[in-house]
Structure formats: C-alpha cells, structure tokens
Structure 1
C-alpha cells in the first residue's frame, strides 16, 4: 500500500486531558487541521479548567470531534480504553494533550503501520520547543540492571539508548507514550492498557506486551512531534510522582526476572519509595516558587 492509499485508513485519535491547560487547544486544532479522514475522541478526566468545554463550543459544528466527560480522574490507561470503546477507527493514535501533530507526520505514521510486516505499534520522536529529542522516544525495557546503570550513569547499558536519535525507521523495545499509533486489532487483542497503572509506565507495559505477543514496536525516527510540558505535572508534582513510582513498581513486578527474588524485590520497593519521599521537598518548593 502506498502513502497515498493510507489516507483512506479509518483513524481515531485519542487524547486524554486532565487540567491540561491551553496546550490542549493547540493539540486539538492541529489534529482537526489534518485532511486525513479521522475522528478525534477527547476524553476528559474531570478537569476544572474549563478548557474541554471551551473546545466543544469552538468546534461544535465539526462532526469529527467527540468529547467524553468523566466525573472523576480515571487515570491515563483507563481513559484511553474507554475512549477506544466509543471510537470507530481501525487504527488508534494515542496522543498527549501537549503534543502538536502535523499532517506529514501523521501520514508517515499511517504509512508505516500499513506497510511494515508484523507491526504492532509505531512511535515518533517527541521534541521540546527547541527541537531537542526526548531520550524516552527510543528506549529499552527498564529492567533493574538497566535502571541502575541509568541512575548511577555507569558504563553499562541503560534504559535510554545512547547516541544520536535515529532519523529513520528502527525497531525498538519501547517508545514514548506521547505518540503511539496502534491497530485496533492489536489493541483489542491485548485488552488495551493495563488499568492497574494510573499514570506513567503503562506505555512501557503496552510495548512489552505487544512484543511478547509477536508483534514489532517501531520508532519512525524521521517523524518529529512537538511535545510540551504537561500542565498536570506542573500543578500536581507530588501526585504525578507518586503514580510514576507506583507504575515503576508494577512494571518491575510484572516483567523483571529480578522480582522473583524476595530480597531484591524488597530492596527495590524500599528504594523506590525512599526516592519518592526524598523528592517531595524539592517539588513543593518549586511549585511554591512559580
């Protein structure tokens, strides 16, 4: 199938918001500016900033936009799963609310999904406003040995892959959850995201289960997507940090062989939560200084 043919792909773009702020408008506008046939499902986790409602009013005549309002913050993975259930696309693009998507990037991701054999998920290189790639765009499973190598900056193989970010299509163990294109067939076979994660590490979990199922995880290194800093993380750093550490612990228990050794597991548990507690004073000081 050619790149031109992929424009006929039935696509659902899923965006989860939770007090995501003005960047959500830019995200929605960028998606709706694309000419690729798509629907945009914006699922809101009980935001209080009024932005989703403002977006609904601004685009009330655009039938491609569907907004789902949750009465509570369900977490990222559970919200995506519910949006997927109410979507129609045969391909699902999971997009962070602080990402700006351009049509050539979308076309390229769809092309890869349509043409590569045994592809389960396609990611992109997410960049900050200066065009600097996020190392999390191209990474390995965060097994204990790699996590320690990254933490202590040793010469061993770490979680993030060293060197320049690829500028071509490569196979990866994991990609950034900010931009992930997956076929509905694969997503449903996996029963979507593991809902025992609330925020963080559910993308690593999904990538791992895709590979365990016999599909490939690919990074389209020639696709760059602008990714800002999440408003939720800035406003609720302790809340976000707690769920990040909780997610790391769940991934470790599910997939790392080291978790089968009780002493190692206990040490990791203590280390994770000690790290969480030590971060709190600095997070509160930075939040108060804004």
Structure 2
C-alpha cells in the first residue's frame, strides 16, 4: 500500500446512521488515491457490522481501529489510528462530517512541507441531518444552498462556506478573522510532523485536544493554511453527553502551558514516558 497518497482518519462512537452517510461521502470523492482509517472509541457490534458491509460497497480500503469503551478517549484512539496509516499525509475528520466531493482534492492540492491545512465545517440542524439520503450525497444536493433552504436552512453569512468559489472563496480564506488551527473535524498534515510532536495528548478528554496538537505543531515551526471556505464538509447534528466543564477547564490549562512554554512534545502521546 506504498502508493496511497492520503490516509483519512475519521473518529466514531456508536453513530452508525451518521457514519454510513460519511462513508458514502468519501465514495463520491473526485480524488481516489486514499485509504480510510476509522478510529473507533469503543463502539458496539452495530458499527463493526456497518464497516464490514461498507467495505464491500466502496472502492477505497477501510482499516477499522477499535479500542474498549473507557469513556471519552478520543486522543488515545486517534494515536492508534495514526500508527495504522500507510500514507505520508493525513487528513483528519469525524464520523459525523460528510465531505463534499472535492474535499480530498483540496487537501491534496494544498499539502506543502512545513505546513498543515486548517479547514472548517458547516453545521446542519438535526432535521436536515436526518433528511439527507445516500442519493442526496451522491448528487451533492446536501451541499446545495437551494436544496438546504427548501429543507429549512436559515440565511447566514456562514452559508458562504457552501456557495463561495474562485476569487471570493480565496478572499474569504485570506481575510477571515478565524486563525488557522488544527480542527479535528477538518485538518491535514504530514505524519512525520505529527509524530515529531508525539501525536495527541492522551491525558486530555473532550475540549480542544485537537487544537492543542496544532499548537504544538506551530511551536515546532509548522505553519497553518486557512482553507475554511475551500475544504468543505457538512456537520451532522448530535448531542455531546461527554462534554464536561472539568475536562474543558483542564484542557484550557494544558493549552495555556503549551503556548506559554513553547512545548512541542507531549509526554502523554504515542510514545509514553520512560
């Protein structure tokens, strides 16, 4: 599998309805030279059965990396998934983010040594998330503002993420007030850089653990490319029962230390302490 150009890592946990839609999204990519690595943080047998079925229906290879359910341990399963990848370049997203058909092509076209790519997402409400079918993904209707408005989508400046092209798209990327950050739902980079900073900090639960990885990459001298109006995925709605004030406060403290002390290597990452 040395010829694989991109390893796509998507995380999931007991969300088979959303995961199936996402996998159909990758089936429709114009860029074909990739593998799918599913980072599964302890899902039950329904997810395993879905992946086995989808592996027979899609053109791309799927690697299923699973660990026992031990609460929210996304950083741990992502590190395991990183070690399962066969490509030099990683695109990272989530099992609730359907990629537009040019999603991987945008990441491929913008990969550059010394950089990571920072994409965004377009949040959908629950009723539209549920309404999207396999056919809507294949036809790309779920990225069409006209179709989405018929389903009840409201007007917003953020709708430009779906409709901007050419000069407007590049201007919005350039002048957005949002800084380039490593976003777990839509980012990409070289695996050698990610391994240099020792992957994700496994002492962090929900709340910014993806951003913390990006902050260590930037401390290493890796720069971010802002492409939130070019690398497009739609985010399906869901509850976040694992979100706690304690984990968010703890993670903010860790991130503050990383920034202040210019930390690049996490002792709680892929390689553990002595």
Cα offset, 1:180, TM superposition: 1.0
Extract unaligned runs of 5+ from structure 1: 1-7, 138-163, 258-290
Note if 1:26 corresponds to 2:33. no
CA distance in 2, matches of 1:92, 1:191: 15
What's the C-alpha RMSD, in Å, of the aligned pairs?
A: 3.0
CA distance in 1, matches of 2:211, 2:23: 25
Q: TM-score, normalised by structure 2?
A: 0.68
Matches within 5 A, 1:143-222: 167-169=172-174, 172-222=179-229
Matches within 5 A, 1:123-138: 123-129=118-124, 130=153
Rate the CA distance shift 1:229–1:101 in 2: closer, same or farther, 3 A. same
- Larger relative contact order (Cα-Cα within 8 Å, sequence gap ≥ 6): 2
Rate the CA distance shift 1:45–1:240 in 2: closer, same or farther, 3 A. farther
Q: Of 255, 259, 264, which aligns to 2:259?
A: 255
Rate the CA distance shift 1:194–1:133 in 2: closer, same or farther, 3 A. farther
Matches within 5 A, 1:102-113: 102-113=100-111
Rate the CA distance shift 1:245–1:22 in 2: closer, same or farther, 3 A. farther
Find the counterpart in structure 2 of residue 229 from structure 1. 237
Higher-Rg member (1/2):
1
Residue 217 of structure 1 aligns to a residue in which SS? strand
Residue 119 of structure 2 aligns to a residue in which SS? strand
Q: Of 65, 70, 73, which aligns to 2:67?
A: 70
**Cα-to-partner distance string for 1:48-94 (whole Å, 9 max, x where unaligned):** 37234223223246560111221124612211110110110111111
Cα offset, 1:218, TM superposition: 1.4
Rate the CA distance shift 1:10–1:240 in 2: closer, same or farther, 3 A. farther
Q: TM-score, normalised by structure 1?
A: 0.65
CA distance in 1, matches of 2:174, 2:104: 15
CA distance in 2, matches of 1:42, 1:241: 28
**Cα-to-partner distance string for 1:200-243 (whole Å, 9 max, x where unaligned):** 21122112111111110111133222112345x1xx25x55543
Note if 1:11 corresponds to 2:11. no
CA distance in 1, matches of 2:193, 2:47: 32
Contact 1:126 1:176 in 2 (8 A): no
Matches within 5 A, 1:85-104: 85-104=83-102
Extract unaligned runs of 5+ from structure 2: 125-152, 162-168, 262-274
Contact 1:81 1:193 in 2 (8 A): yes
The count of residues paired between Structure 1 and Structure 2 equals 215
Cα offset, 1:245, TM superposition: 3.1
Contact 1:56 1:67 in 2 (8 A): no
Cα offset, 1:252, TM superposition: 2.8
Note if 1:56 corresponds to 2:52. yes
Contact 2:90 2:188 in 1 (8 A): yes
Residue 120 of structure 2 aligns to a residue in which SS? strand
CA distance in 2, matches of 1:218, 1:132: 24
CA distance in 2, matches of 1:194, 1:133: 34
